[in-house]
Amino acid sequence: MQGTRTRLYQNELTLLGYGTPVWEPSLVCIGDVGCFERGKFLPLFNILPNHSSPSRIIPFPQPDFPLLYVLPSDRPTTDTSTPLRAGTHALRSSSTAEGVNRAGSVLTGEAPLSFNREEGAALILPYHAFREDTLYDNWFREHMLSRYKDWHNFASRACQRNIKPCDLVLVTGCDLTSHWATATYVKRDQGIDASLGADVAPVANATFSLTGGWTASPEIDTRQGPSPFQNYEGRGSQNKKREQREYTQCVFLRGISVKERPARAIPEENVAEGPLENDNIPVESTDETFITALLDYMLEESDANMVIAGDYDLAPFLREAENSQNLRAILKRMSPRVNVENGVGSLLPQHHGEFNDIEQT
């Protein structure tokens, strides 16, 4: 059930267009290289020069893998966008946040949720989330292409992670907040016709507030963090408590990943001749996400030996998508072109999207 709710949360919240949702938020920094495990993003190391990210778990041996490029030190390297407003962020649930202040920075009242379909998920921000993205996306992409094999070897050996190269994510942007609350719902009674949509009376309800936390139907799985949850808007000196608030909880991240085309299996009688040519052999991911669905499409529709894509590449295709499987049909219909240079495939620039242009809920 845990894995089902994790996938449900990521499927639902990805469609909002803010990036990849993090089911178990924690500290994530731009430049982190890591992987998702049970809905939590696990940073392994950070690639930026002289970076002392507290999020990484094992120092990456920079002297052994020197950076090919140096980010400019005389001008900003990141862009801070309009913060995500406090309140409810959901796709297929009805919600009316009561009492978000005019600036959209604090949830001062209650945030009720109503689920009337087979499943649903929602993120509630008691306080707004600051958004930050790198200004050097191309640099990050080039650096990942030149170093991902070293990163994967390091992740497998030094960090003891049993992952594939395509599981690695290089973080290029993140949304950080101080507190969060999440809810997922999976309908148990399959006798109710969910196709009736909004005309069906809500079958599960929940309410969240800063002062009272969650009040929810048993069918709804609710979480809040960080743990222990601190109510900065409660009793006592509010100004003093607000000063202690730290924005270290990543609720959405934006990153890039790569995937290689698998080599054709070598018949035993030809082992001595070495590996065969790729010969355009696409292999679908077993644990599919929106990004892996896009990477698989790019391999299928090109002769590239490897492909690279990120959350911003997904933006033009999310408005019509329902899940990662449905995304495949949308990609086939829209047929975005894959540009191949030196065996590396990427989407043409006109297919890149802007997450900041998507209306916030």
Whether omega before 228 lies within 30 degrees of 0, making that bond cis, reads yes
CA distance 24 to 34: 14
**pLDDT at site 16:** 92
Quick: pLDDT tens for 289-330.
899 999 999 999 999 999 999 999 998 899 888 888 889 899
Structure tokens, 302: 């090109």
Q: Which two tokens stand for residue 111?
A: 């945030």
Cβ pair 207, 113 in contact under 8 A: yes
- Whether residue 151 contacts residue 168, with contact meaning beta carbons closer than 8 Å, is answered with yes
Residue 117 has phi, psi (to 5 degrees) of: -120, -175
Q: What is the pLDDT of residues 216-244, one digit of tens each?
A: 999 899 999 997 665 544 433 344 444 45
Q: What integer pLDDT is reported at residue 97 of this predicted model?
A: 53
- Name the phi and psi angles at 240, rounded to 5: -65, -40
Distance CA 100, CA 84 (A): 12
The predicted structure's pLDDT at residue 49: 67
Helix, strand, coil percentages for the chain (3-state, nearest 5): 25, 30, 45
Q: What is the SS3 assignment for 126?
A: coil
Distance spanning both ends of the chain, measured CA to CA: 28
How far is the C-alpha of 270 from the C-alpha of 106, rounded, in Å? 66
Q: Which letter, b or e, does each residue of 120-153 get, where b requires 16 or more Cβ atoms within 10 Å of its Cβ? A: bbbbbbbbbbbbbbbebbebbbebbbebbeebbe
> CB count, 10 Å around CB of 307?
27
What pLDDT does 91 receive?
78
Tell me if the bond preceding 226 is cis, omega within 30° of 0: yes
pLDDT for 82 equals 81
Q: How many Å apart are CA 321 and CA 96, to the nearest integer?
A: 24
Give the pLDDT confidence score for residue 323 in this predicted structure.
83
Within 8 A by CB and 6+ apart from 98, the residues are 109, 110, 111, 112
Matching residue, tokens 């999440």: 182
Question: Cβ contacts of residue 85 below 8 Å, gap of 6+?
Answer: 100, 104, 105, 125, 128, 360
Using CA atoms, how far residue 314 sits from 19, 70, 189, 293, in Å, is: 9, 28, 34, 10
- Residues 273-281: contacts with CB under 8 Å, at least 24 apart: 278/305
Would the pTM count as exceeding 0.85?
no
Query: What string of pLDDT tens digits covers the 361 residues of the chain?
Result: 567 888 899 999 999 999 999 999 999 999 899 999 988 999 998 888 666 555 555 556 554 444 444 455 555 566 677 889 999 998 766 555 556 666 668 888 888 888 877 888 999 999 999 999 988 888 899 999 999 999 999 999 888 899 999 999 999 999 999 999 999 998 875 444 434 444 555 578 999 998 889 999 998 999 999 976 655 444 333 444 444 578 999 999 999 999 999 876 545 555 555 554 544 444 444 457 899 999 999 999 999 999 999 999 998 899 888 888 889 899 999 999 999 999 999 998 755 555 544 444 3
Indicate the pairing of strand 169-177 with strand 129-134. antiparallel
Looking only at the bridges linking them, the beta strands covering 40-46 and 180-186 are unpaired
Distance CA 286, CA 324 (A): 12
